[in-house]
Structure 1
Amino acid sequence: MGAVKRIRYFIFLKDVFILAISAFGGPQAHLAMLLNIMVKKRGYISEEELMELYALCQILPGPTSTQTITAIGFRIGKANLAYLTLLVWMLPAVAIMTTAAILVDNYQTKNFSLEFTKFIQPMAVGFISYGAYIIASKMVTTKTAGALMALSAIVTYFISKPAALPIVLVFAGCLTAFKYKKQEIEVKEKVKIKWGNFTLWGLVLIAAALLGAFTQDRIVLLFENFYRNGSLIFGGGQVLIPFLNKEFVEFKGYLSSEEFLSGLAMVQAVPGPTFSVSSFVGALSVRDLGLGAQILGGFIAACGIFLPGTFLIFFVIRFWDSLKKYRVVRASLEGIHAASAGMVASAAFLLFEPIDNSVLNVTVVIGTFLLLTYTKIPPPLIILAGLAAGFLI
C-alpha cells in the first residue's frame, strides 16, 4: 500500500507541475483546468468537492488557486504532500519572475517586446468564460441559485473593493441556509477545531513584524511586508497589484512605475499563480545588495505572499467535513456555489474591458471558449497555439 500511495503522490505532483507550467489566466481560468485534470482526468476529488474547496478559498485571504491546489494535496496526502504541492506549483513562476527582475535590472530586456503574448489575455478571458459556464451548468440548478448568480455578477462587477467578495459569498450562503429543511438529515459529528495552523499563522505574523522592527534587515522586512499583504488580500492576483504599487513604488520607491508595469506585463505571459509577481517586486527591492540577494529576495517574497493563505486553508479544511454535515451548512453551499459562478462571470467581463475591443480579440475569446467546450484539445496546447499565433501574426 505504501508503494501505491507513493506512486499516486508522484503522479499528483506531476499533474501539479503540468498545471504550473501551462495554467494561464488567474484563478478563474485555473479552475477550468483543475476541473479537467483533477476531476475529469484523474478523479482525485469530485466536482462538488472541488467547488466547495474553491468557494472556501475565496472566503479566506490569500491566492485562491494556490490555496485550492494545496487543499487538494492536503485531501490526498495530508500536510506533507500539501507543502510539496505548494512548492511544485509556485516554483516555476517564481523562478521565471525572479529571473525577469534580474534581467530588467541589467537592462537586458530594455528593447524586448512582449508582442507575441498579445493573444494570451483574450484567451484567458475564454478560459474564464468556460469556467463560468461549467460552474453554472453543474451547480446552478434552481431559480434561487440563478438569481443569486446574477446578483453576484452584478455586485462584483460594479464594486471593486476586495472585501466585497467574501461578503457576497457569505450573504448568498446565508440566504440559501434558510432552505435547510430540504436537506437530508445526517449523523452529526462534533466539530473539533485544531488551532495549530491558525496559531502558526498569527505567530509568524507577529514574529516577522518584531524581528523586522528590531533588526531592520532588508530581507526580513521584505518577508514581513509580503506576509502582511498576503494575510489581508481577498480576490486573487489582480487585487494584489494596488497594494504592491502603493507600498513598493509610491511609498518605498524600490521600483519605478515603468519597472512595476513591466513586471505586470510579464506576469500575464507566465503560467501559474499571478501572485508570482511578488518575486519580481521582491528581487528588484534588494537589487543594491547583489545578485545573491536578488535571488533570495524573489524567493522570500514568494514565501511571504503564499504562506498566510496556506496556513489558513490548512486550519479550516481540518474541520470542514464535520461542519458540512449540518443541514444549515449544506444548504448554504447552494448560495455559495451560485455566487462563485457569478464572480467568475463578472471576472470575464472585467478582464476583457482593458483589451482592445477588436474583431480579432473577440474571435480569440469565442474560439477559445468553443475549443474548450466542444473539443478534447488539452488546454496547454491551446495556449501554445496562441503563443505561436502571436509570433506569426
Structure 2
Amino acid sequence: MLKTWIEILLVSTRLGLTSFGGPVAHLGYFRDEYVKKRQWLDERSYADLVALCQFLPGPASSQVGISIGIVRGGLVGGFISWFGFTMPSVIALILFAYFVTGFQAEDAGWITGLKIVAVAVVAQAIMGMGKNLAPDRPRIAIAVIAAVCALFFPTAIGQIAIIIIAGVTGYIMYRNQDVPKADKLAISISKKTGAAAWILFAGLLIGLPLLRQLFPSIWMAMFDTFYRVGSIVFGGGHVVLPMIEREVVPPGWISEETFLAGYGAAQAVPGPLFTFASYLGASMNGVTGALVATAAMFLPSFLLVVGMLPFWNFLREKSSVQAALMGVNAAVVGILLAALYDPVWTSAIKSTGDFALALAAFALLVYFKLPPWLVVLLAAAGGIVLGLIG
C-alpha cells in the first residue's frame, strides 16, 4: 500500500503544480490523468463522481480528487490526493502573503496564456466525455438542453436543479432498458465510518459557533469562520470569495486592499481557488494562521466525501439509479459545455491572438497527444509573446 500512496502523492502533486484554469479545467486534467492515462477508474465511474460532488458544498474538483484517492488508496489515499493537489498553491499563497503586495496577476501575459490553455483542456474533456456519456440522440439532447439551461441559470442552485431534472428524465427514459453495469468502485471505508463522518460534519457546523462564544479567541473564530464557509458554499471558488470577504474584512481581520491583492494572486496559482484561505490565514496570523484556515476550509469537503462514498456503490448498483445516472452524466457533459463558454471562454478569449493560441493548444492536446503539463508551459510562453506583440 505504501507504493500506492507514493504513486498517489506524486501524481496529485504534479496535477497540483500544473492544473491551471479553475475547477472545470481541473476536471479535464483529472480525466486525462486518472481515466485515460492511468485507468484508475472508468469513464462512467468518473462522471458519476463528478455528478456526486456537484451536489456537495465545497470545491468540486478537490472533492473529486479526494474521492479518486480514496478509491485508489483508502482514507490515507484520499488525504494524500488532497494534500498533493492542494499544497503547491497553499505554499505559493503563503509566500505571496509574506513577500508580495499589490500584484495584479490578471495583467501578466503568462496568466493570459494559462487562462487560454483552459479552453483547450475543457474542450478536450467535453469531446472525450461526450463520446462515452452522450452517445445517442436522446442523451445528446439532454446534454444540449442542460448546456442551454446552465447558460441562462448560471447559479449553483440552477446547476443542481439541472442535474436533478436530468436524473428524473434518465430514469423515465431508461428504466425499462437493460442498463450496462458500471464498474464497482473499490471503496474500503465502512458505512459506520461514513455515518461517523456525517455526524462529525454536522456536529462541527452546529458546535463551533457555540465554542466560539464559550472560548473566545482569534483561533476559534478563524476555524469557525472558514469551516462554516467551506460547509455551505456551492458553486466553486469564485463564489466563496465574496462570502469570505464579508467574514474577514468588516471585523478588521484584513484590509480590503490586502484581500484584493490576494484575490489576484489566487488566480495566478494552480490548484483549487479555496486555497485563498491559506493566503488570508497567513496575512492574519502567519504560517499557523494559514494552516488553521486551510484545514478549516477543506475539512467539510473531506467529511462529506467520506460520508457519501460508503453508500455510493450501493446506490449505483440499483437499476433505477443507473438509469437516472445515464441522464445525469449527459447533463454533466452539458454543464461542462456551458462552462466552456462562460466562464472559461469569456474570461480567456479577448482577441484573434488569444483564439489562435487556444486553437494551437487544442491541437497539441488532441491531435499531437502532448502531455497537458507541457501544453500548459507552452501556452504560458505563448501568452507572454502575445503580451509583447499586442
TM-score (normalizing by structure 2): 0.89
CA contact (8 A) 1:185 1:327 kept: no
Does the aligned pair in 2 maintain the 1:24–1:124 contact within 8 Å?
yes
| Shift in alpha-carbon separation, 1:261–1:203, aligned structure 2, 3 A | same
Q: Structure 1 residues 125 and 185, CA, compared in 2 at 3 Å: closer, same or farther?
A: closer
State how far apart, in whole Å, the 2-side matches of 1:102 and 1:13 are: 27
Task: Please state how far the C-alpha of 1:294 moved relative to its aligned partner.
Answer: 1.8
One-letter amino acid matched to 1:360: G
**Match for 1:308 among 276, 300, 303?**
300
Contact 2:12 2:81 survives alignment (8 Å): yes
**Structure 1 match to 2:327:** 335
- The aligned counterpart of 2:317 is 325
Q: For the residues of structure 1 that align with 2:200 and 2:241, how far apart are their CA atoms?
A: 26
Determine whether 1:359 maps to 2:355. no
What's the offset of the Cα at 1:192? 6.0
Pairwise CA RMSD: 2.4
Structure 2 CA distance for aligned equivalents of residues 110 and 53 of structure 1: 35
Partner of 1:289: none
CA contact (8 A) 1:181 1:327 kept: no
| Matched residue, 1:379 | 372
Question: What amino acid sits opposite 2:200 in the alignment?
Answer: L
Over 3 Å counting, the alpha-carbon distance change for 1:363 and 1:11 in structure 2 is: same
The whole-number CA distance in structure 1 between the counterparts of 2:180 and 2:366 is 37
Paired position in structure 2 for 1:248: 248
Q: Could you say which residue in structure 2 is the equivalent of 1:43?
A: 39
8 Å Cα contact 1:230-1:304 kept in structure 2: yes
Evaluate the alpha carbon distance shift between residue 150 and residue 69 of structure 1 in structure 2; reply closer, same or farther with a 3 A threshold.
same
Counterpart position of 1:271: 270
Q: Is the 8 A contact 2:104 2:264 kept in 1?
A: no
Q: CA shift at 1:256, angstroms?
A: 3.9
Of residues 265-274 and 375-384 in structure 1, the stretch that sits farther from structure 2 once superposed is 265-274
The question of whether the paired residues in 2 share the 8 Å contact of 1:60 and 1:166 is answered with no
37-46 or 349-358: bigger deviation: 349-358
Would you say 1:182 and 2:181 are equivalent positions? no
Matches within 5 A, 1:3-22: 5-22=1-18
The separation in 2 between residues aligned to 1:356 and 1:213, in whole angstroms, is: 48
SS at match of 1:119: helix
Q: CA separation of 1:192/1:27 partners in 2, compared to 1, >3 Å: closer, same or farther?
A: same
Q: Which moved more, 1:88-97 or 1:212-221?
A: 212-221
After TM superposition, the structure 1 stretch with the greater mean CA deviation from structure 2, 172-181 or 364-373, is 364-373
Instruction: Report the Cα distance in structure 2 between the residues aligned to 1:65 and 1:345, rounded to whole angstroms.
Output: 16
AA paired with 1:208? Answer: L
Is the 2:110–2:384 contact (alpha carbons within 8 Å) kept by the matching residues of 1?
Answer: yes
Q: Is the 8 A contact 2:142 2:331 kept in 1?
A: yes
Please say if residues 134 and 330 of structure 2, whose CA atoms lie closer than 8 Å, have aligned partners that are also in contact. yes
Instruction: Tell me, in whole angstroms, the C-alpha distance in 1 between the residues paired with 2:359 and 2:107.
Output: 26
> 1:332, CA displacement in angstroms?
0.7
Using the alignment, how far apart are the partners of 1:368 and 1:255 within structure 2?
Answer: 39
Distance in 2 (alpha carbons) for counterparts of 1:147 and 1:198: 36
Matched, 1:91 2:87: yes
SS in 1 for 2:222: helix
CA, structure 1 residues 111+147, in 2 after alignment: closer, same or farther (shift >3 Å)? closer
Match of 1:74 in 2: 70
| 1:354–1:387 distance in 2 versus 1, CA, 3 Å | closer
Secondary structure of the structure 2 residue equivalent to 1:181:
coil
2:157 aligned residue (151, 160, 163): 163
Task: Report what 2:187 is aligned to.
Answer: none
Shift of 1:347: 1.2
SS at match of 1:260: helix
Distance in 2 separating the partners of 1:125 and 1:112: 17
Within 5 Å, give how 1:113-152 maps onto structure 2. 114-152=108-146
Residues 25, 128 of structure 1: 8 Å contact kept: no
Cα deviation digits, residues 208-237 of structure 1 (max 9, x gap) = 222222222112211211111111122221
- Shift, 1:300, TM fit: 1.6
* Percent identity of paired positions between Structure 1 and Structure 2: 28
- Whole-angstrom distance in 2 between the partners of 1:195 and 1:96: 35
Indicate whether 1:220 and 2:216 are aligned. no
d(CA) in 2 for partners of 1:313, 1:65: 12
Pick aligned residue for 2:28 from 16, 22, 32:
32
State the number of aligned residues: 376
* Contact 2:22–2:273 (8 Å) recurs in 1: yes
- Show CA shifts across 1:10-46 (max 9, x none): 1122111111111111222112221221122222111
Q: 5+ residue gaps in structure 2?
A: 185-189
Q: Retained in 1: the 8 A contact 2:57–2:231?
A: yes
Q: Give the conservation status (yes or no) of the 8 Å contact 1:231–1:309.
A: yes
